[in-house]
Structure 1
Amino acid sequence: MSAPAQRLLFVADPLPGFKIHKDSTFAMLRECQRRGHALAVCTAADLHWRSGAAVQARVQFVELTGHATDWYRVCASADTALRDFDAVLMRTDPPFDSEYFYATHLLQQAEREGARVFNRPQALREHPEKLALLEFAEFAPPTLVTRSAAAIRAFHAEQQDIILKPLDGMGGMGIFRVGPDGLNLGAIIETLNRHGQCTMMVQRFLPEIAQGDKRVLLIGGAAVPFCLARIPQGGEVRGNLAAGGKGVAQPLSERDWAIARAIGPKLAARGLLLVGLDVIGDCVTEINVTSPTCFQEITDQTGCDVAALFVDALERALG
């Protein structure tokens, strides 16, 4: 039996900037429309809250056309309370800056008024994508989060080959590798750490990156059976697709399944309907909760319809 039609609001980046051949939010929209759900979109900047009133957004009600260009049409625009939708899906891309933080507070107020928000705003705030990893240290490589340049140098002396990255980076931005010779370690610390002003993450380098940085998707606490191994190209240490990595879909390994079974149910219970684990070799290196991607790449290469799995889970959550 098909689920009843729902009114769904996607809080996302502006639609004209979507690359629909690979965008996961587009895949969600397409599957939702295929099932008869009504679609509305807005950006985080469209959210507003006036004293004495409900949290609202200036939303566009849209239909997908099925065309490669002019792929959507706007049917109407209106200021609408978020609680008037059956579900609100927060799909704004990182970085998790102060404006994203404020948006989660507006969305949490909308929850108090009766809105159903996925992923839950409180859970988004409580699981910053790099720091959340340390809760599951048994699956992580040796990792240090600090502002201290001396602590970073000591970590390098101990581990010899390390990766350094900012806490607010995305798409591989700002990631550096320093080998046993320590070449440029000081300059990299100064660049990322800004003389003690910025907290950063340091991890032991994992040579298994040569086989790919795997994106393992968790939907409703359960793993999608295929991951996307993002393989560095041309001497890069970053596998991120945004940094030129090549995406190769493959079945989950036994270790991937074990990690998913340990982490997935815990995060789902906290209101995280969709999570993307970054796994290199046997280690989780990040836990992505803001707008996990790779739906279309996995579907195109394996036939596993990730968007359908996601909308199935959304419909179950809505009852």
Structure 2
Amino acid sequence: MKLLFVADPLAGFKIHKDSTFAMMREAARRGHALYACEPHELSWQRGGRVEAQTRQVSLTGASGYGVTDWYRTVNEGRIALADFDAVVMRQDPPFDSEYFYATHLLGRAEAEGARVFNSPKALRDHPEKLAILEFPEFIAPTLVTRSAADVRRFHDEHRDIILKPLDGMGGMGIFRVKDDGLNLGSIIETLNRDGAQTVMVQKYLPAITAGDKRVLVIGGRPVPYSLARIPQGSEIRGNLAAGGKGVAQPLSERDREIAETIGPQLAARGLLLIGLDVIGDQLTEINVTSPTCFQEITDQTGFDVAAMFVEALEGAAPSR
């Protein structure tokens, strides 16, 4: 297969833990040709097709912490996305205006015959914080609002709450307000900006001390292990980017119930890979842009997550 990865700059990959690198390494092991571009290199012109300034890369075999010479460029050139067997969209959040525009170019490429994973339309239709609203049976008490008064009423009811922006990633902008309401007004002002910005508020889940579990679902099927991202010290966030410790563990019955209910539905909409965030037995987010934790799970359990992904990709987009 001829694969194009639309991703952040390759030179910035931390290959000791990067999931896109794990995908590329497994694809190369299976003999697939690897190409890469950045989102800003996508373009379309009347009379033509959606193209990208791409570079074909080969992997050097180098690995480890801090390694930068893990790939070399074989050649470069403009190639229509429809000429690839599959296009894998792996740009990291935030889902800002430029990300949104990129999904429209990718959608145009789909109309021209490209096979894009995850589906551009599905990426737009499933914002990572708000996608959980479709599955209220699995989530904790949750409020989405621009109203400061609504937030205060929610705190009055639940007494210990988490507030977060809808466009955050890696634990950015997450606040906890306990029963005493200390700094609630200031936090509302920071996140809500006098009603200009929507916020999500959720009841605090004490089970976070055991970890914020990342449950990966590939082709509608759950990976049998989650990665529990456990907050360290006085931190309330388990995100690895916020210093959380990742501990792989078998899925619980509840994890599997959530994954086996949601996974097939979202796979049918073009979401080949999703990452469910679960605290205790409650779903808190559905990650669709570039779910991670492949290498951490594989390193700790021996289960090859990247192989499961590439096998699903091969099944969804067989060579033409």
What is the aligned partner in structure 1 of residue 146 from structure 2?
Answer: 147
What is the aligned partner in structure 1 of residue 36 from structure 2?
Answer: 41
The whole-number CA distance in structure 2 between the counterparts of 1:9 and 1:298 is 25
What is the aligned partner in structure 1 of residue 75 from structure 2?
Answer: 76
What is the aligned partner in structure 1 of residue 275 from structure 2?
Answer: 276
Percent of aligned pairs sharing the same letter: 73
Report how many residues are paired. 314
RMSD value over aligned CA atoms? 0.5
CA positional deviation for 1:158: 0.6
The whole-number CA distance in structure 1 between the counterparts of 2:140 and 2:39 is 34
Residue 165 of structure 2 aligns with an amino acid whose one-letter code is P
- TM (norm. structure 2) is 0.98
The whole-number CA distance in structure 1 between the counterparts of 2:317 and 2:97 is 30
What is the aligned partner in structure 2 of residue 89 from structure 1?
Answer: 88
The whole-number CA distance in structure 1 between the counterparts of 2:9 and 2:36 is 9
The whole-number CA distance in structure 1 between the counterparts of 2:164 and 2:125 is 20
Residue 77 of structure 1 aligns with an amino acid whose one-letter code is E
The whole-number CA distance in structure 2 between the counterparts of 1:50 and 1:290 is 26
What is the aligned partner in structure 2 of residue 214 from structure 1?
Answer: 213
User: What CA deviation, in whole Å up to 9, does each residue of 1:149-203 have, x standing for no partner?
Assistant: 0000001101110000000000000000000110000000000011111001000
CA positional deviation for 1:261: 1.0
What is the aligned partner in structure 2 of residue 3 from structure 1?
Answer: none
CA positional deviation for 1:52: 1.4
SS at match of 1:74: strand
- TM (norm. structure 1) is 0.98
SS at match of 1:51: coil
What is the aligned partner in structure 1 of residue 102 from structure 2?
Answer: 103
Would you identify which runs of 4 or more consecutive aligned residues in structure 1 move more than 3 Å? none
What is the aligned partner in structure 2 of residue 297 from structure 1?
Answer: 296
Q: Map 1:120-131 onto structure 2 (within 5 A).
A: 120-131=119-130
SS at match of 1:249: strand
Residue 190 of structure 1 aligns with an amino acid whose one-letter code is E
Q: Map 1:1-319 onto structure 2 (within 5 A).
A: 6-68=1-63, 69=67, 70-319=69-318
CA positional deviation for 1:134: 0.7
SS at match of 1:61: strand
CA positional deviation for 1:86: 0.3
CA positional deviation for 1:82: 0.3
CA positional deviation for 1:67: 1.1
The whole-number CA distance in structure 2 between the counterparts of 1:38 and 1:88 is 12
User: What CA deviation, in whole Å up to 9, does each residue of 1:39-90 have, x standing for no partner?
Assistant: 0000101101111110000000000000133110000010110000000000
The whole-number CA distance in structure 2 between the counterparts of 1:135 and 1:237 is 26
The whole-number CA distance in structure 1 between the counterparts of 2:186 and 2:314 is 50
User: What CA deviation, in whole Å up to 9, does each residue of 1:234-261 have, x standing for no partner?
Assistant: 1111000000000000000011111111
User: What CA deviation, in whole Å up to 9, does each residue of 1:206-265 have, x standing for no partner?
Assistant: 000000000000000010000000000011110000000000000000111111111010
Residue 16 of structure 1 aligns with an amino acid whose one-letter code is A
SS at match of 1:262: helix
